[in-house]
Amino acid sequence: MCGIAGFFDPKKRISDPAGALGLMTDAIFHRGPDDSGEWFDPAAGVALGHRRLSILDLSPAGHQPMSSPSGRYVIAFNGEIYNFHRIRQEIEKVEGNHPWRGHSDTEVMLAAFETWGVEDAVRRFTGMFAIALWDREARCLHLMRDRIGEKPLYYGWSGNVFLFGSELKALRAHPAWQAETDRGALALFLRHNYVPAPFSIYAGIHKLVPGAVLTLRTESDPPGLLPEPVPYWSFAQAVADGLDRPFGGTEHEAVDQLDTLLRDAIGQQMVADVPLGAFLSGGVDSSAIVALMQAQSSRPVRTFTIGFHEAAYNEANHAKAVARHLGTDHTELYATPRDALDVIPRLPELYDEPFSDSSQIPTSLVSQLTRRHVTVSLSGDAGDELFGGYNRYFLGRSIWRTIGWMPRGLRSGLAAGCTTLSPACWEALGTFLPKKVRPSHFGDRMHKLADIVAVESPAAMYRRLVSHWGNPGDVVCGASEPETVFAEGSRTPDMNDFTLKMMFLDTLSYLPDDILVKVDRAAMGVSLETRVPFLDHRVVEFAWRLPLSLKIRGNEGKWILRQVLYRYVPRDLMERPKTGFGVPIDSWLRGPLREWAETLLDEGRLRREGFFRPEPIRKKWSEHLSGKRNWQYHLWDILMFEAWLERQQRGAGR
């Protein structure tokens, strides 16, 4: 895992290109503290920079940027190619005695590009990656990103210079940087709590979409022109193919095949020349990853858990029980509220653009703990999206089956009835329900249910379920919300099942733009590499061949993944309600964070900055403080933008 940065300056306007590139790579030092490298093609105006976190081939033979033996290709690469040994063997069959200099995956990638060309080579890679590849012969710059989007890559023209890098802070460090906050992207952020690709918070600066190659032809493309990314792998096509060719074996055969696929993916991802471990929350996903790691390891796997003293947020006891059964070398840290609160001032710098999934806080804490002991950690992310684990898959399905037959007017009447009573009244009525079936924040949930019941279609219901601010245009001044994959008419594979559609959209946006961003920035902020075995594309493609009945049964998801897990861990250790990985932001905003939040939400401040209309924000803040409503998610969105903006303004003033 590393960080990359670079630029193309066609007019040669940067008087000190080495200094400019140094500023860019220094800005992402945390992504690669072990080594740095720079490479220039002065005639073309191309510069590639690299920060290295040494994982494979710790010798100087793994140094980047790296040139191919013929000198045609030069690469700066962030990530890992897990099947590089197999690719190396294929190349040797084609070429015979290839002049290898070391045993890094980077060197194998360069040989693959020379052997098969750019697109044919990248299709052979199994792994996570963001790649900048300069072709000295064709005079073009290729940017590539892995299939699902584990590794970040930003790019765009700033002035007359094309900039790219692993994080926005690398682009901002370049002397040519000039960009304004994109109000449309800000509206998207308030809806989703992240900025979905291809947008970034800055106008004209983009995230490269997963599974694509962007090729800038430096001698023919006019400065300022952004070519369209070309897919080398399509998740939508993989889904369509899976639905067209469903798995035809028995349930037992499906479990066997998933077990085999996961074993192979995990086995490949356990290869490292540095200490390696895994996050273990005690849930199904992380427990399955750790169980299959331990099954292939001759010594105890290192596992790591963060615990909280607040019972509603704590899974450490479950993780310890799983670790004890599997015989892992387990480390846990119980975090205090002070530990968690101390993370908050670092969030704007860590996440680099507005990001308000509050589980970023415990993710940062577990990453800090893990990095004290290992350099690489496997995680169980993506199990929910692939195998049907989120509550909304059951909630949305159940609600629409119940109310979908009703005329829209009747549903609107039901919605109005739900909001006749205040959340406080619903809370009081909820006390008559058995504790087992009474959800937390019952009153707020009844009002949210009213919003959902009134929608006109399943697609609109899903959009509402994944939205924080339902109408961000009412809050962001001068914003026109851009269309995304969540739009009703977006091009998606033909699927009649509402739950499948939700799982598809979650994997297309929520997974890469929220979950994977959260983990990448938290881990790389402490120079920790994370790996996600569920995102091996062979596992993804197999998951979409499975019928929904092998994923969701009744109100329980991940059925097939549970069957794999039960081969290694007793069922009674896993049968419990799903717990989110969160922190009590709602009570903190009324307590230790109140003064900080009040400063950022000051009405005069909001008016001066001109991004938000203060009235709806101040109304929610007042209702939250009084306990009348729980607006933690909406307020955290605003607070994370304001903290980010304050950090940018301080940086600009230096």
Residues assigned a catalytic role: 2
Q: Catalogue the E-assigned strands of 509-598.
A: 529-531
CA distance 224 to 306: 46
Kind plus residue range of the DSSP H or E element containing 128: strand 127-135
Sheet with 46-52: list strands edge to edge.
Answer: 35-41, 46-52, 2-8, 161-165, 154-158, 206-207
Name the DSSP letter for residue 476: B
Nearest to 84 by CA among 37, 121, 119: 121
Q: Catalogue the E-assigned strands of 554-595.
A: none
CA distance 4 to 16: 19
CA distance 84 to 90: 10
Is the preceding omega at residue 65 within 30 degrees of 0, hence cis? yes
For the chain, the distance separating the N- and C-terminal CA atoms, rounded to the nearest angstrom, is 30
Q: How far is CA 530 from CA 2, 12, 518, in A?
A: 11, 38, 11
CA distance 164 to 77: 12
CA distance 322 to 344: 30
Please, which residues have CB within 8 angstroms of residue 61's CB and are 6 or more apart in sequence?
Answer: 101, 102, 103, 104, 107
Please, which residues have CB within 8 angstroms of residue 467's CB and are 6 or more apart in sequence?
Answer: 191, 192
Per the CB < 8 A criterion, the answer to whether 321 and 282 are in contact is yes
CA distance 549 to 497: 12
Per the CB < 8 A criterion, the answer to whether 215 and 140 are in contact is yes
CA distance 613 to 117: 52
